[in-house]
Amino acid sequence: MNSAVATQSLKQRVFRAGGWTLFGYGMTQVLRFGSNLILTRLLFPEAFGLMAIVQAVLTGASLLSDVGISQSIVVSARGQEQGYTNTAWTIQICKGALIAIVLLIVAKPIAAVYGHPILAQLIPMVALVAFFDGFISTKVAVASRNVDALRVTLIDVGTMVVNIVVATLLAWHDPTPWALAWGFLIAEMVKMLSGHVFLKGHPNRFMWDSTIARGIFSFGVWVMLSSGLTFLGGEGNRLIWGSLLDVRLLGLLGLATSINLVLWQAVRQVCGRVLFPAYSEVFRENPARFSVVVERARFVQIAPTWCVALILAFAGPKIFSLLYDARYAQAGVILQLLALGLMVDMLNGSFAGVLWAMRRIGVGTALQVVQLACQIGGMLVGYWVYGKSGAIIGFASAGWVLYPFHAFVYARLGLWHPRIDIPVVIASVLAALALMFTNDWSVLQTFQ
């Protein structure tokens, strides 16, 4: 840890980094929301559905090959050494090149599976994104290790501005999915270059230390398994959605999901960049206070997010009728279902980073398996019972089914907090019953 960071207490660093992270996420969401209002008037829902598939493929390739490079820099005692970061950077470049090659190979088969030939051209283009991401500076991971988010946040905001400007100008000239693809690619190039230029730390150089590499890969075995499950439970769902829903409905689902998760994603950003390294430090230095620290952190995450989810659950159709034209109106009822699911699922997500800080990665992986089973099972059973609408309902219900498993595991670890969880579950049940008997669900019939 550098001297400037060492002079600040963990609490000071957490509040500073958390503030910058929330500011950055808030700015990017405002920018994304504004761009959506513009782009949805220039493009049709099918364009967003196609890009959802493309980004799911890219994310899947990245997560399935994740060897925990950034995480190893955060948790390793040698994580700030120049030899360590340079070896990690070399591994990262090799990984990016490998992902790009794989995407080039699978582009045509994926286009054939989904029946959209344009995917065979869009996927090779985002293969360049994977290649350039391999060159992202390890200074980003070092900043996370030190709970220092200022410059990383500014880069993220600047990257979003570049993405929006490029995509909007191109969509105005040529209203096709290519506008979204070019905006994505150019923004990632800017992000990669900015990390090298504007972040503090040693410049990256090609280097290979076999001892360091073995340590990274040893740690990365669990990370790769966890990341693979994360993909299947997150972005990978889009690939399943693509086989269950038509492209138009997939685009509507994507828009509803982005609004539903707008605040929760901000919370997850803080967990990844701030709480995970902070939890790690507390568990190393003062484990007796660990449960108290986690409980406070969970309350701060859950209280505002639950209130927002309640509003979205009751006002979903009005939100879409106010913000979007009639082509997107059906997404309002999807937003309602997703918001109801989030009310309880956020109890599960509020434990993010805890098991990793405790080095109980195996337990976390087991819970991810259960989560994946609940999500995919809910989608498929729902589709079998009630078609496309049932798939969405089943997916939204997964968090409710998953919660008892989380409660049992964390109770065994002494980390379940009934003072928080029980009132949230009761309030969520009451909200779901009220909405069930007062809302007009006839729109779901039009999805079949």
Residue type at position 80: Q
Residues 214 and 279 in one domain: no
Residues 12 and 147 in one domain: yes
Q: Which of 186-190, 317-321, 360-364, 423-427 has the lowest mean pLDDT?
A: 360-364
Quick check: helix, strand or coil at residue 137? coil
Apex CA 380: angle with CA 379 and CA 382, to 5°?
Answer: 65
State how far the Cα of 171 lies from the Cα of 179, in Å rounded to an integer.
5
Residues 218 and 341 in one domain: no
State how far the Cα of 188 lies from the Cα of 123, in Å rounded to an integer.
15
Q: Output phi, psi for 336, to 5 deg.
A: -60, -45
Domain boundary among 224, 259, 290: 224
State how far the Cα of 342 lies from the Cα of 266, in Å rounded to an integer.
14
- Asked whether residue 315 is domain-assigned, the answer is yes
Instruction: Tell me the pTM.
Output: 0.66
Domain boundary among 179, 194, 224: 224
State how far the Cα of 50 lies from the Cα of 247, in Å rounded to an integer.
7
Residues 142 and 92 in one domain: yes
Residues 71 and 107 in one domain: yes
State how far the Cα of 214 lies from the Cα of 345, in Å rounded to an integer.
37
Can you spell out the DSSP letters for 38-94?
A: HHHHHS-HHHHHHHHHHHHHHHHHHHHT---HHHHHHH-TTTTSHHHHHHHHHHHHH
Domain boundary among 168, 191, 224: 224
4: pLDDT confidence band, cut at 50, 70 and 90? very low
State how far the Cα of 22 lies from the Cα of 16, in Å rounded to an integer.
10
Q: According to the model, what pLDDT value does residue 5 have?
A: 46
Q: Which of 228-242, 334-348, 412-426 has the lowest mean pLDDT?
A: 228-242
| Alpha helix ranges (H) inside 148-289 | 150-173, 177-198, 210-233, 236-244, 247-260, 262-270, 276-285
Q: Which domain does 385 fall in, by range?
A: 245-438
Residue type at position 429: V
pLDDT in tens, 177-205: 888 888 888 988 999 999 898 888 888 99
Residues 116 and 190 in one domain: yes
Residues 273 and 204 in one domain: no
pLDDT in tens, 231-286: 666 655 666 776 777 777 888 888 888 888 878 887 877 777 788 878 877 887 78
More confident site: 230 or 85:
85
Residues 69 and 113 in one domain: yes
Task: Judge contact between 230 and 368, C-beta under 8 A.
Answer: yes
Torsion of CA 295, 299, 302, 307, to 10 degrees: 160
Residues 213 and 262 in one domain: no
- Asked whether residue 446 is domain-assigned, the answer is no
pLDDT above 80 (res 330) = yes
Q: Output phi, psi for 439, to 5 deg.
A: -95, 150
Residues 92 and 19 in one domain: yes
Count of domains observed in the chain: 2
Residues 50 and 192 in one domain: yes
Residues 191 and 275 in one domain: no
Q: Which residues contact 191 (CB under 8 A, 6 or more apart)?
A: 136, 155, 156, 159
